[in-house]
A and B are shown apart, each in its own frame.
Chain A
């Protein structure tokens, strides 16, 4: 590997993934905004035409980033961060209100969204701070400082108010986690909040499945005894199949949720016997937690229905996006699911989607762009898009881990975290696994600011990665 030759050292696999996604995104925006009267591919009054310009600009930005010396990013990390904070303050004063949130600044005819730029800014500032010499990671002071770096922009964005964008900053906890923050306390806290929300949003069956899977997963990770993990899964699946079979054959007519609860009870008995007979402390601990989590889920439901007043329930539902929509709770979501669901295995074909074109799906070229993918390219196309993201995310973890320079690694995880959060929340909301939170799908959604922000985020990291050999000494 040659030093200083950016073309030779650049991670072309990532660049290729980036280009594929941007182009696919553009095609889908074209389809989402397509109509017989605006079929021109480069009609710059249309969104697809504008997106083409945004893409060109993004590529220029990417090249500029790659040319600038890599030390610049480390050196100016706090400067960049301060700039982002200033813009976020400015937008509250002179910002333009769109869709009820004051989140845009217009500079010379170009609209920019400071909340998008805040994402790379936080990633870079956090990396700079956590990579500092003599930093003791497991100290209260470190926690607080990192917290301030992460949540100051989040707070300012919340004032706009743009809850979706503000939520993104929570994902930097992942970076802190990778860097060795003690997680148990944090995790329990987060788990309780998340579980509370999840139990209001999801059906019990899905939630129970998730809790059990996580329980088994943690069991495996902590005990590192894979036999035991397999045994646990066997017990769970076995008891489930047993109860299910009995129910099916005897015509007992129990609901799925009852079958699951019954099989859990059976499994719990088996575990109890095993735990006592083999003195398995760690396993007992995890199983205890899993059981508590399951009880908690049912308790939340009970509290929500019986303790809270209807208006309090409504407020929570609105916060969760379950009641925000004037056309009736879940309208957007239902529309989005219909669009995706009607796609079938191979989809309706490029430009042939009907649901997305009937303007049933709001924000179909921005936050709900995945609807167009799902409807026109079907299951096959959706899986390809998901796998593209998986490939990119895995590659980013790999790249981050190979950094010798701590700053670069932490920054890499920052990039990964932001992309992962957007990928997860955006797709989850369009297919109804998550409440509707207005955040874009990276590289796919229409919009200059978000595309540029993701490009900046990614290419700074690629630049750092390409320059990693210069830190050998």
Chain B
């Protein structure tokens, strides 16, 4: 016999002990302990997701831009439904019987046992009536949600909107589940993680009558929801509202920045839409309408439209030439209605001639700046046009052109500054010279600059040579610690003392005597410095452009105004900028004639002409 046969008893005992252990444990769980079955039969657990309220959004003065309103989703668990008065049910919710059947079938297709949304975002009024009758409708319950509310109903492009997560977000995230909300554009998108908070879960026991009988596992598995954090924006709501009002007759954009900090005071893209259009159940339908509009109101022109900067760019070219010492402030160039060279002609308007740098800025002389660009690109320091051009590009980019500034306004574009290789590709290396790219001298040609970049240029001039990345965020709740990149000073490659010359020229543009291009923007007691621009546009009338800052010696606001297809910079953009500056600095408006001229817009004038 096998010497170890006795060991089989140990094995048998092992079996018996295991079985005994199981039976005892099962007896305790199933018969003795009744924590698992508070009401004897068919207890169900209900997972109620606690959606935290999103953080509120304030402007720089503490006015609420975005708040929350309550809404309820009606949930259904098809398996728990019993026969009920469907007609009354439909009446309460204001739906047709057919609609009811379709919704139920959709829920059944999803799951018999798991809850799904029967009806989304029911108003507080309907849901209060519904909740009184809830006991009649077994299988249904209400889940509270919060929707956005816009007390001022302005700044839609800044704020963006909140919508339901799409499938790809759900698949690529371990936080979002189908039905959750997420910031889709604007600061709702940029600061989603801060605004959203954290969802919580509450687990309840529900009896066969759809009543909550208590907490499941005494709340051990509940997860507390974390409220979203409020954020404070740099936007000035009054200035923003005023800007939107001024632009109501136009397409285009206004961006105003506080130069010392880079804080965006107002960011207008016109045409706009009231933000409350994109809330709740109307969202998808309204969005379709907005997206189908030929003027494209959902498009944020302030950061996503790339325009030629026109004559405003002359200042940059002048500064580069001064920095490279290929131009002195006293160099004069004559202008005889334009610039002529080897058969090329760039036209100019009638003004005094010859002019020095300040005068050329004041009069926006094309011929002068053609000479400036020629000096830059034919600089003896550089062997070839290529390298002189690369040097020019480095200077231009130091103003924040041609790259994303890194702002927190969502959807920012880079704009475009052509490179040496860009022209080499077109004309071949060595086969192009300053004449080929002459239009760059007056801010035309391939240049593409966003209104935000233009406003940033204005702030850089106001600061005499440096800027802070324009941004919308001022604080998170009480926490003033924002991203350090917004506190970082970016200096241009131009010596800061040279800026004074440019600023003097810009002073003359508004406040000079004969030849000043934007006297319409002049204010009596505040010195505005500005520069007009009129960008040619192959698709229609010229764009009207104006950059400005004020006051000259202690700039509080720097602004860029871009108005599409309305003609000279001085005609529309300059007065708009001037009104915005007045609104911000004095809080009151003294030039009602100018205001009504803008509010009536070009259409009105045209009509009168006819």
The residues of A with any CB-CB pair to B shorter than 8 Å are: 35-37, 174, 177-180, 213, 217, 221, 326, 328, 331, 334, 337-338, 340-345, 348, 352, 354-355, 357-360, 374, 378-379, 382-383, 386-387, 389-390, 393-394, 397, 401, 409, 416, 420, 423-424, 427-428, 431-433
Residues from chain B with a CB closer than 8 A to the CB of A177 are: 7, 10
In the complex, what residues of B have CB within 8 A of residue A221's CB? Answer: 9-10
Q: Report which of B8, B21, B23, B43 forms a contact with A342, defined as CB distance below 8 A.
A: B43
Q: Which residues of A lie under 8 Å from residue B33 when comparing CB positions? A: 341
B489 sits at the interface (CB 8 A): no
Contact call B4/A427, Cβ cutoff below 8 A: no
- Known contacts A178-B8, A378-B30; is A354 also within 8 Å of B42 by CB? yes
Give per-residue flags for B23-54: 1 if the beta carbon is below 8 A from chain A beta carbons, else 0: 10111011101011100111111000000000
Bound-state CA distance A374–B114 (Å) is: 21
Chain B residues near A390 (CB-CB < 8 A): 15-16, 19
Interface positions of B from 103 to 144, Cβ below 8 Å from A: 108, 111-114
By the criterion CB–CB under 8 Å, are A420 and B15 in contact?
yes
Question: Within the complex, what minimum Cβ distance (angstroms) separates A208 from chain B?
Answer: 14
Cβ-based interface call for B84 (8 A): no
Contacts of A354 in B (CB 8 A): 42-44, 113
Q: Which residue of A179, A374, A387 is within 8 Å of B4 (Cβ)?
A: A179
Is B193 close to A, CB under 8 A? no
Q: Please, which residues of chain B bring their CB within 8 A of the CB of A342?
A: 36-37, 43
A110 to B554, CA, bound (A): 80
Q: Is the CB of A428 within 8 A of B30?
A: no
Residue contact A374 to B26, C-beta cutoff 8 Å:
yes
Partner of A383, one of B8, B23, B35: B23
The 7 closest A-B pairs by CB, nearest first: A341-B36, A180-B4, A379-B30, A358-B113, A341-B29, A342-B37, A390-B19
Whole-angstrom distance between the Cβ of B98 and the nearest chain A Cβ:
21
Assembled-state Cα–Cα distance A431/B24 (Å): 11
Interface of B is mostly: helix
Answer whether A341 and B37 are a contact pair too, CB < 8 Å, given A420-B15, A427-B22. yes
Let me know if A345 and B30 touch, CB within 8 A: yes
Is the Cβ of A394 less than 8 Å from the Cβ of B12?
yes
A340 touching B26, Cβ below 8 Å: yes
Set of chain A residues within 8 Å of B42, measured between Cβ atoms: 348, 352, 354
What separation, in Å, do the CA atoms of A178 and B5 have in the docked complex?
7
Q: For A360, list chain B residues within 8 Å (CB).
A: 45
CA distance A433 to B35 in the complex (A): 18
CA distance A175 to B426 in the complex (A): 82
A64 vs chain B, min Cβ distance (A): 30
* A-B CB pair tally, cutoff 8 Å: 122
Q: Determine if B221 is an interface residue (Cβ-Cβ < 8 Å).
A: yes
Q: Which residues of chain A have C-beta atoms less than 8 A from B2's C-beta?
A: 409
A340:B15 contact, CB within 8 angstroms: no
Given that A354-B42, A379-B31 are known contacts, is A397 also in contact with B36, CB under 8 Å in the complex? no
Question: What would 11 A/B residue contacts be, using CB atoms closer than 8 Å?
Answer: A180-B3, A180-B4, A180-B7, A328-B221, A342-B43, A344-B30, A355-B44, A379-B27, A397-B8, A424-B18, A431-B22
How would you classify the secondary structure of chain A's contact residues: helix, strand, loop or mixed? helix
Given known pairs A178-B11, A341-B37, the reply for A431 and B29 (CB within 8 Å) is yes
Whether B7 and A357, one on each chain, are in contact in the complex, defined by CB atoms closer than 8 angstroms, is no
Q: Which residues in B have their C-beta under 8 angstroms from that of A423?
A: 18
Considering the chains assembled together, what is the distance between the CA atoms of A345 and B36 in angstroms?
13
B residues whose Cβ falls under 8 Å from a Cβ of A: 2-5, 7-19, 21-23, 25-27, 29-31, 33, 35-37, 40-45, 79, 108, 111-114, 174, 216-217, 221, 223
**How far is A389 from B31 in the complex, measured between Cα atoms in Å?**
22
Which of the residues A358, A416, A428, A431 comes within 8 Å of B114, measured between beta carbons?
A358
What CA separation (Å) do A397 and B42 show in the bound complex?
A: 41
| Given A340-B30, A342-B43, A344-B30: A334 touches B37 (CB 8 Å cut-off) | no
Q: Is the CB of B13 within 8 A of A338?
A: no
List residues of chain B with CB within 8 A of the CB of A433: 21-22, 25
Given contacts A177-B7, A341-B33, A390-B19, contact A359 B25 (CB under 8 A): no
Chain A residue nearest in CB terms to B29: A341
- Alpha-carbon gap, A207 to B416, bound state (A): 72
Nearest to B223 among chain A residues (CB) is A328
Inter-chain contact B41/A348, CB cutoff 8 Å: yes
For A382, the chain B residues whose CB sits under 8 A away are 22, 26, 30
Residues of A within 8 A of B13 (CB): 217
Shortest distance between the CB of B425 and any CB in chain A (Å): 47
Give the residues in chain B near A341, CB-CB below 8 Å. Answer: 29-30, 33, 35-37
Task: Tell me if B221 and A338 are in contact (CB < 8 A).
Answer: no
Closest partner residue, chain A, to B21 (CB atom): A433
Q: How far is the CB of B200 from chain A (nearest CB, A)?
A: 12
Apart from A358-B114, A359-B114, A393-B15, 7 more pairs, CB < 8 Å: A221-B9, A352-B42, A394-B15, A401-B8, A420-B15, A423-B18, A428-B21
Residue of A nearest to B216 (CB): A338
Q: How far is the CA of A198 from the CA of B194 in the complex (A)?
A: 42
B113 touches A357 (CB 8 A): yes
State A420–B17 Cα separation when bound (angstroms): 12
A386 and B23 contact, CB distance less than 8 A: yes
**Bound: A379/B21 CA distance, A:** 14
A36 to B8, CA, bound (A): 49
A343's nearest neighbour on chain B, judged by CB, is B30
> Min CB distance, A24 to chain B, in Å?
17
Which of B10, B12, B36, B112 is in CB contact (< 8 Å) with A37? B112
User: In the complex, what distance in Å separates the CA atom of A378 from the CA atom of B40?
Assistant: 13
In this complex, the member of B2, B17, B19, B40 whose beta carbon has the largest number of chain A beta carbons within 10 angstroms is B19
Q: Are A337's CB and B29's CB within 8 A? A: yes
Q: Is the CB of B174 within 8 A of A326?
A: yes
- In angstroms, Cα B4 to Cα A382, docked, is 34
In angstroms, how far is the closest chain A Cβ from the Cβ of B66?
Answer: 32
